[in-house]
Amino acid sequence: MSCVDLRARHSTFSRHSLDARQIVVVAAVAVVTVLVVVLVVEVAEVEAVAAVAAAVVAATTVAAEAAVVAVAAVAGVTAVAAVKGVAAVEAEVAAVVVVVVVTVILVAAVEVVVVVVVVVVVVVVVVVVVVVVVVVVVVVVVVVVVVVVVEVVVEVVVVVVVVVVVVVVVVVVEVVVVEVVVVAVVLVILVVVVVVVGLVVVEVAVVVVAELGVVKVAVAV
């Protein structure tokens, strides 16, 4: 075999083989993909926590305002009772208490529903984004694997497999973390809303009982 044939065969093999630069490019693309997935999921987590925090603040504010309105209403009814007598306004006081309690409970329920809807939407968006990114990564990996199989470069196959494993692990861990955080925050919100509503109801009941007691004593005197 002549030197010309050897050089020609070497040149043909070089054209159909992946060199070190191509391996670096494949690895770099995979690493960038992983970073993009992590960034997207982290941003979604921050948005979910911010939405939940805003909902908690809104629920607490509404409950506090309802408590103030309840106290003012009871004070007004009590003032009327001091003039008309307790028996004449007991029904009015009971009606005010019922309306306030029902309003607070309904507002709290609406806030909880809003929070749950926001959290569900955020989770769905995160899952969709992650699925799209994973599909893109899988397509890229399949193309690279096909090229690698055709070119018969074992080193690149190993690099691609390792990168795919890393991507899958990162995506799975991030999704699990998002789910756990969302569930925990929703539970905390429910507890906070229940506690706030309970405190408002107790406060209204205490004020009503105290004011009626004062009025009865005043009327008796």
Total structural domains within the chain: 1
Residue 72 lies in a domain: yes
The stretch 169-198 carries a mean pLDDT of 69
126, 44 Cβ separation under 8 angstroms: yes
Model confidence at 44, pLDDT cuts 50, 70, 90, reads low
Summary mean pLDDT of the chain: 64
The stretch 158-185 carries a mean pLDDT of 68
Residue 8 predicted with pLDDT over 50: no
Model confidence at 6, pLDDT cuts 50, 70, 90, reads very low
pLDDT tens-digit readout, 64-123: 666 666 666 666 666 665 666 555 566 666 666 677 667 767 776 776 777 777 777 777
Q: Identity (one letter) of the amino acid at 35?
A: L
Length of the chain: 221
Task: Give the count of beta carbons closer than 10 Å to the beta carbon of residue 201.
Answer: 18
Residue 154 lies in a domain: no
Residue 133 lies in a domain: no
For the stretch 15-19, contacts whose Cβ atoms lie closer than 8 Å and that sit 24 or more positions apart, written own/partner, are 16/151, 17/151, 17/153, 18/147, 18/148, 18/151, 18/153, 18/156
